[in-house]
């Protein structure tokens, strides 16, 4: 196993993969699985559950090439990604449970819109009115979808 080919440290990369696995994500075999994995990691960072990767805005919302690289590297090297039942820290476990509840019944589309809206407001520093227009232009989001995405990011 070569630790030198990861964007993050080997430990951080494996921790992210294990957290994603515990959340039911990390499937790299389908586009839908990779897309959901990207969005769930984005929110795992917001909930301060997972090590941070940098994200840029791409066609399907915030995307981290480094995260993809590290997850594919773990898969390529055949590293075991064991599940774990709880975090050592109760505070971290509580944040994890909030995150799990947050993503539980959201579709990939809902995660894509909420993460994109969050990125537009917080990373691109657009005011909500401009972010609404940008979400409509980039994602074809309806007013109902925008309102739901706004509600979803307010719940973080």
Q: What is the mean pLDDT of the chain?
A: 92
Q: Where are the alpha helices (DSSP H) in 104-127?
A: 108-122
Whether this model's pTM surpasses 0.85: no
pLDDT band at 2 (very low <50, low <70, confident <90, very high): low
Cα–Cα separations (whole angstroms), residue 89 to 92, 94, 95: 5, 9, 10
The pLDDT value given to residue 137: 96
Over 90: is that where the pLDDT of 10 sits?
no
The pLDDT value given to residue 80: 82
CB 153 within 8 A of CB 111: no
Average pLDDT of span 68-78: 93
């Amino acid at each position: 196993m070569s630790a030198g080919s990861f964007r993050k440290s080997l430990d951080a990369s494996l921790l992210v993969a294990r957290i994603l696995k515990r959340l039911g994500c990390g499937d790299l075999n389908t586009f839908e699985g990779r897309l959901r994995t990207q969005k769930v990691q984005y929110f795992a960072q917001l909930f301060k559950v997972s090590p941070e990767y940098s994200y840029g805005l791409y066609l399907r919302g915030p995307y981290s090439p480094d995260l993809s690289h590290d997850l594919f590297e773990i898969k390529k090297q055949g590293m075991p990604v064991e599940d774990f039942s709880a975090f050592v820290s109760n505070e971290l476990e509580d944040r994890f449970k909030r995150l799990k509840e947050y993503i539980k019944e959201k579709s990939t589309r809902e995660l894509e819109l909420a993460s994109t809206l969050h990125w537009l407001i917080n990373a691109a520093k657009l005011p909500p009115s401009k972010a609404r227009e940008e979400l409509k232009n980039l994602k074809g989001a309806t007013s109902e979808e925008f309102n739901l995405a706004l509600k979803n990011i307010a719940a973080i």
